[in-house]
Amino acid sequence: MTITTSAATETDLPVLNFAVDLPGFPGRRHFCLVTIADLDTLFMLTSVEDEELKFLVVPAAPFFPDYTPELDDEYVTLLGLTEPEDALVFLMVNVGEKAEDSTVNLMAPVVVNQRTLAAAQVVLVGSDYPLQAPLKRT
């Protein structure tokens, strides 16, 4: 299933339930998505199980409007996606010393089924998307 990122600008979501552990963080499957400073493009993904575990994420669409990750059938099933527009796509941010030095991981987006709140960090196997793409709003 190819998903577009135009619907990825939702501002507040309750607890997201990850279908699989985030790579490197076993047992952490419940996260809140919190808007930072009333911005619609900056969020903190915070673990419910471990309040110290937080990730800065951005919706893909404002920064990469042509980004259309291809999900394999396993993730489509895990997330219960039946329509591409049900998917919200977020990108993990690697914060640089200066804002213009920040990058995002296009190889492993966080995909959320906005209807069920099922989520997963999806590693796009066989993709040529970069692990560190410059974060610049278009």
From 22, 30, 5, 16, select the one nearest 88 (Cα to Cα): 5
In a domain, 6, yes or no: no
Residue 123, domain extent? 13-134
pLDDT band at 91 (very low <50, low <70, confident <90, very high): very high
Mean pLDDT (the chain) is 87
Rounded to 10 degrees, the C-alpha dihedral 109/113/117/119 comes to -30
C-alpha span between 64 and 5 (Å, rounded): 8
CATH at 95: 2.30.290.10
Mean pLDDT of the region 18-31: 92
Count: domains in the chain:
1
In the chain, which ranges are E strands?
13-18, 30-35, 43-47, 54-59, 87-94, 103-104, 110-113, 118-121, 133-134
In a domain, 117, yes or no: yes
In a domain, 50, yes or no: yes
How does pLDDT run across 67-84, given as a tens digit for each residue? 999 999 999 999 999 998
Higher pLDDT, 59 or 138: 59
In a domain, 23, yes or no: yes
**Whether pLDDT at 12 is above 50:** no
Mean pLDDT of the region 48-57: 91
The per-residue pLDDT for 138 is 61
Could you give the count of Cα atoms lying within 13 Å of 106 in the half-sphere of its Cβ? Answer: 21
Higher pLDDT, 40 or 6: 40
In a domain, 8, yes or no: no
C-alpha span between 38 and 120 (Å, rounded): 25
In a domain, 107, yes or no: yes
What is the SS3 assignment for 97-130? CCHHHCEECCCCCEEEECCCCEEEECCCCCCCCC
The per-residue pLDDT for 109 is 97
In a domain, 97, yes or no: yes
In a domain, 5, yes or no: no
